[in-house]
Amino acid sequence: MPSIRELARICKSKNAGPFDLTIDIVFDDTALYRKVRASGVITEALFARLYGVAADDVLLTPYDAAMAIKATFPRLVPAGGIGDTDVYGCQQHAPLLDVEIPV
């Protein structure tokens, strides 16, 4: 089964302000994007499991115009706070890369 690293053109993480992390998965093919969405794999529950957050704290927004799916949830530690590991939040995407999607 293909994984996100094979299907997506972009899979990235970044701060959305100092308290939240946002993850974007972007496709460049409308049919593929629709299939990924229809697969039901990319859900609040997926991010909750991969990142140890409550599903209720995940804001999941598909953005059809950009063929993208965005998930935003709280950072483990606010950016630059004591114990933070990634001030810019730009290296938190890797657990998603191997998520398999039946398309």
Which residues contribute to the site for other proteins (CB under 8 A)? Answer: 9-10, 14-20, 22, 24, 26, 28, 50-52, 59, 61, 63, 65-68, 70, 72, 74, 76-88, 91-92, 94-95
Phi, psi of 97 (to 5 degrees): -60, -35
Q: How far is the CB of 4 from other proteins (least distance, A)?
A: 15
For residue 76, the SS3 value is coil
Q: What whole-number distance in Å separates Cα of residue 94 and Cα of residue 21? A: 14
For residue 26, the SS3 value is strand
Nearer to other proteins (CB atom), residue 60 or residue 103: 60
Q: How far is the CB of 99 from other proteins (least distance, A)?
A: 11
